[in-house]
A and B are shown apart, each in its own frame.
Chain A
Amino acid sequence: MESTSEFLNIKDVNTSFKIKGKYYDAISHINLEVHHDEILAIVGESGCGKSTLATTIMGLHDPAETKITGEIDFEGTNLLSLDEKGYNQFRGAKIGMIFQDPLSALNPLKRIEDQIQEVMDYHTNLTAEQKHDRVLELLKDVGIVNPKRTAHQFPHELSGGMRQRVIIAIAIACKPDLIIADEPTTALDVTIQAQILDVLRDIQKENHAGIILITHDLGVVAETADRVAVMYAGQIVELGSAEQIFNTPKHPYTRSLLRSMPQRDNENDDLYVIKGNVPSLQKMPHTGDRFAPRIPWVKSSSHETNPIMHEIESGHSVRCTCYKDFEFPDQGGQRA
């Protein structure tokens, strides 16, 4: 699904956290754009900066502990130049966020209705009655069977799946152009996952929103995403359409990730394991390919000293040149 209407343009964004008085990059030089009517998936293993990117777009970092540079152009406004008050005009109204853990993301002392209504209190001029109707409508939209009853309940009376639906209802209450879903299905069981993803897709069709879907579940990505950005150690290492990423993955990390996913044709083999860990913030190398230490069999001369993104076909780009020489050790004849 190609669309020209890009409305979110992330340009060279760096977010660094203060640890013991020094700043360390959590994400570096991120360039991304999001279009209407598309689902952009951001994948990568834990600690690679996916959630940091999401919270950076939402402006949820404590300015005293974080340093953010670059530009996030949202419909003509640079979000990073806004103050709290300015940001609040966008948060909830034009950007909605869905959080990872539905069990703790709702205020335990407030009724569902009040929590959904709150977002409308700040961004709409609806009357109390209109808001009430909208709450019921939203709850119905996200697939809650008895909206009237649920609206009156407290979070602890709902199941995890229902709470996640409520959180989605909050995120979409003001029909935002951008929805950021940070691992929306991680805490849920598989059947509920599928339902939640359906809800997200339906909502998107209705509102022509762009969705950033953050996940480490490649199955979810294959099912829903239009485009995919693969992140490793705070950088985007590969970016392309879902077909490009799944059918012709280039970057060693993408290929390793895909190989570590259980598939029908390798069900009798051991799953591939990427050796090592994502480096911690303090130990992040500043030059060279950050993935190099985890594929030690690749000649160091294949890596660029300062890896950049190379566009290899329309809409598909890869960081570093090492992908040209990359082969899995067991496929090159020797078993790792």
Chain B
Amino acid sequence: MWKTILRRILIMIPEIIILSILVFLLAKAMPGDPFTGSINPKADPAQIHHLMKINGLYDPWYQQYWNWVVHLFHGNLGNSYQYQEPVTRLISGRAVNTLWLALFTTVLTYCFALPMGMYAAKHEGKLPDSIIRIYTYVTYCIPFFVILVIGIWIFGYVLGWFPTTGSVSSTANPGFPTIASRLYHILLPGILGALFGTVNIVQYLRSEVIDAKGSDYVRTARSKGVPEKDIYRHHIFRNSLLPIAAFAGYSITGLLNGSLFTETVFSYPGMGLLFINSISYRDYTVITALVLIYGILNLLGTLLSDIILSIVDPRIRIQ
């Protein structure tokens, strides 16, 4: 199994290099510059020209890229033009928020989806199955941001149960109250995200369980006299989780990207919101850093998925 993992990690190196070049060039190709809108609009073009020059923005792309990579290895991703603070610090501050929300959403998603998928499959074709199916279709069809806006309106505004912006109350005392406040802030976005992120898992699990129920090895288990409950536990459930395990790693790191929608609608200061803001301010350094991180996270996600699969499915381990 270590061989499998090692090989997968080696494959990632050229992927990351290509990714970084692409990311860098794409950011460069964006129109506009970081200064025109951010200082006095009547500023002298010559002054902007000067700023561009001292920031190295007129150098050839490979030189800029090389500078960027060298700094990258020193943990220096540059300064944000918009916030005037190191990108590393800026992102790590936001990443914590996103991590909280992502973790909470993922755990909730699986808590909702696994029982729903199992239950639907167990009662295939009956009323609970139809209800769950309709539920997944509806959540799949409605755009996510519409749900978020409606959710905020009902639970945040009309009922007033949850806060509608931010990640922590500024008046909370340090220690436990802060943690409680953080949890309180991610409750609504987390629950909404989980309720509407279940569709893939539910449908995959449902069809896998239905397949497994009629499979020959389950019939073998029945002929051994294994009670139905144990058949589900030992034979059906684990075998049906394979495709879900296949994208579990991906979905965990995918959520770390920060949900653009959730964070924007809830003004939740995570990576997603930072990303949107940076794009509108042409904050190159932040954009390149974020896109690079997203890319690496996705590569890590597939790696994680492969590792999980090789643990649960003996058939794909390299001998």
Contact = CB atoms under 8 A, between A and B. Distances in A.
A97 interface: yes
B284 to A, nearest CB: 49
Interface in B220-253: 220-228, 234-235, 238-239
B216 A97 contact: no
Interface string B192-223: 00000000000000000000000111011111
Contact of B217 (A91, A104, A171): A104
Contact of B227 (A60, A85, A96, A105): A85
Contact of A122 (B226, B313, B315): B226
Given A108-B315, A109-B239, A156-B314, A167 B225 contact: no
Most chain A beta-carbon neighbours within 10 Å: one of B216, B221, B224, B227: B224
A28 B12 CA distance: 63
B67 to A, nearest CB: 51
A88 B239 contact: no
A322 interface: no
Given A109-B239, A118-B234, A89 B225 contact: yes
A105 B238 contact: no
B312 interface: yes
Contacts of A101: 216
Contacts of B312: 109
A118 B223 contact: no
A17 interface: no
A107 B235 contact: yes
A99 B225 contact: no
A91 B216 contact: no
A119 B224 CA distance: 5
Interface in A147-183: 154, 156, 167, 170-171
A100 B225 CA distance: 18
Contacts of B235: 107
A96 B223 CA distance: 7
Contacts of A88: 225-227
B237 to A, nearest CB: 11
Contacts of B225: 87-93, 119, 122-123
A154 B319 CA distance: 13
Interface residues of B, number: 21
A101 B215 CA distance: 11
A58 interface: yes
B223 A92 contact: yes
B224 A105 contact: no
Nearest to A120: B224
Contact of B221 (A118, A154, A156): A118
A84 interface: yes
Nearest to B314: A154
Contacts of B220: 97, 99, 105-107, 167, 170
Contacts of B228: 84
A58 B225 CA distance: 10
B226 A118 contact: yes
Nearest to B317: A154
B313 A99 contact: no
B224 A104 contact: no
Contacts of B238: 109
Interface in A122-158: 122-123, 154, 156
A87 B223 CA distance: 10
A1 B228 CA distance: 39
B41 to A, nearest CB: 65
Interface string A74-116: 0000000000110111111100110101001111111000000
Given A85-B227, A109-B314, A118-B226, 18 more contacts: A58-B222, A58-B223, A60-B219, A60-B223, A84-B228, A88-B227, A92-B223, A92-B224, A99-B216, A99-B219, A105-B216, A106-B220, A109-B239, A122-B224, A122-B226, A156-B314, A170-B220, A171-B223
12 contacts: A58-B223, A60-B223, A84-B227, A87-B225, A89-B225, A93-B225, A108-B239, A109-B314, A110-B234, A119-B225, A154-B314, A170-B220
